[in-house]
Amino acid sequence: MSHIRGRFKKPADKLVAQYTASLPFDKRLYRQDIAGSIAHAKMLAKQGIISAEEAGSITGGLEAIRTEIEQGKFEFKVELEDIHMAVESRLIEQIGEVGRKLHTARSRNDQVALDMRLFTKEAIADTIDKIKEFQLALLDVAEANVDVVMPGYTHLQVAQPVLLAHHLLAYFEMLQRDIDRFNDCLKRVDVLPLGSGALAGVAYNIDREFLAKELGFSRVSRNSLDAVADRDFILEYEATASICMMHLSRLTEEIVLWSSAEYDFIELDDAYATGSSIMPQKKNPDVAELARGKTGRVYGHLMALLTTMKGLPLAYNSDMQEDKEGFFDTEDTLLRTLVVVTGMVRTLKVKAENAVKAVERGYILATDLADYLVKKGESFRTAHEIVGKLVNYAAEKGKSFAELGTVEYKEFSTLFGEDVRKINIKSSLAARDVAGGTAPRRVKQALARARKMVGQG
């Protein structure tokens, strides 16, 4: 690194060089770094800061380096510290002294901020695509099982009957909010920091609007100190990724429950389950469990960066080098989880008959009986109390509601009549015919609307 060590009389200690190097992980930014450098060279030529010939030589050299990297022919030397110096050093080797002009009117501080913003924009686009694929999987399973009834739960206790499709659509809505959050994050990522220099701007007649257009940014940063010191956009991605992983974790937790012998609502495809080393009968939901577990990993990266950033004075500090590994792992973990869970959901088998049997347990129509009394003129609180006593009575007798006689019903309220026997699972579902409810008509409407939201239908 002698070309940037003019201030120093001796090289860094070997261990220090290894400790401070970010190249082992920031080499992942090579495409963004080269794209930013090409745009910068074009701008320098446009502004007459370097000649068009020099810019052409620099651009050609950078494109050749990109090809070298993609073909696996580029040697990443840790002593060059980071991807910026690795590319610049190779450029100087290729085209000579003119390569030293590339860094005119910029700093590694605004250069890395640019690279990370370009990378984050791509990460957001990839993430949204994967979320939409998962949404489509949920819709396909929901539509294939549109008439399947299952127990709805609160406190993990049987509550009211719902359609499985309605349950899956709840996750569709969560994922749609995740998409909205990522799109909202993109608005703040979409800001060009290049031209901010190390912290105070640059002393050259540059054209930042030209750079923004070349690199696909909608606007330029308004404050040079903020531009190089800001990592809010990474925190936002990681926070949104954490929420998305939380949603995936909730679903995979339910998949773990539903695939158990106690529930037996679904069976996982063999490709998304594993066996036991000693128990031949086992079919373990390892994929679901790992997705649930990796959620904590993503949370950790968010907390780590929040902790890193909380005590940093303006502007750039080397602490901020710690933004990358956690961010890269967050994106990788989220995308891989989305892909794997999408496949798992697409291939699972729904055991409709077992879900229906579960609906018949737990006096699931109790609320419908209370509503029946209310419609006959009883106050809801009193109706609630009456049905609570009716449940106790039925449980003591070991009877279901269907097994109770009309005379028994009347012992708890004279408002009960023969028409109480019309209350069943089908009538319970149909009664929830409100916007957002589980009535079959409403769920079919919601499925059609969801298809349109993902660009189908």
Active site residues: 155, 276
Query: Residue 134: CB partners within 8 Å, gap ≥ 6?
Result: 175, 338, 341, 342, 345
193, 199, 203, 207 alpha-carbon torsion, rounded to 10°? 10
Strands (E), 87-217: 149-154, 157-163, 191-192
Q: φ, ψ for residue 417 (rounded to 5)?
A: -130, -175
Tell me whether residue 431 is exposed, middle or buried, using C-beta atoms within 10 angstroms of its C-beta: 0 to 12, 13 to 18, 19 or more: middle
Taking alpha carbons only, the member of 58, 63, 69, 57 closest to residue 28 is: 69
Cβ-based neighbours of 137, under 8 Å, separated by 6 or more: 342, 343, 345, 346
Helix, strand, or coil (residue 266): strand
Q: What is the largest CA-CA distance in the chain?
A: 101
Q: Which two tokens stand for residue 126?
A: 């990839």
